[in-house]
């Protein structure tokens, strides 16, 4: 039985939450992704690297990370 999981994709100062479907394997390898979900993760990462937030946000929730000084 497959289930929805969230994967984080990080590129530069951006992070995206991508929802994918985790598919169980009958063997001992564990869970895997469909080809479509793997391509979705790759598409989001490429969009983030190009700072194309509009394209990345079609498949994910996009966040901008802000560095903070440690005190």
- pLDDT tens digits for range 13-38: 999 999 999 888 777 677 788 999 99
Res 28: pLDDT: 65
pLDDT at 40: 97
| CA–CA dist 26, 57 (Å, integer) | 33
Q: How confident is the model at residue 6 (pLDDT cuts 50, 70, 90)?
A: very high
27, two tokens: 């063997």
8 A C-beta contact, residue 56 and residue 36: no
φ, ψ for residue 19, nearest 5 deg: -90, 125
pTM to 2 decimals? Answer: 0.84
pLDDT tens, position by position, 32-56: 889 999 999 999 999 999 999 999 9
Domain boundaries, the chain: 3-64
């Amino acid at each position: 039985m497959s289930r929805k999981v969230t994967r984080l994709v990080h590129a530069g100062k951006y992070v995206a939450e991508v929802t994918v479907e985790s598919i169980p394997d009958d063997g001992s390898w564990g869970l895997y992704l469909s080809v479509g979900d793997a391509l979705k993760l790759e598409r989001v990462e490429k969009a983030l690297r190009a700072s194309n937030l509009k394209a990345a946000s079609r498949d994910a929730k996009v966040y901008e990370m802000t560095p903070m000084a440690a005190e």
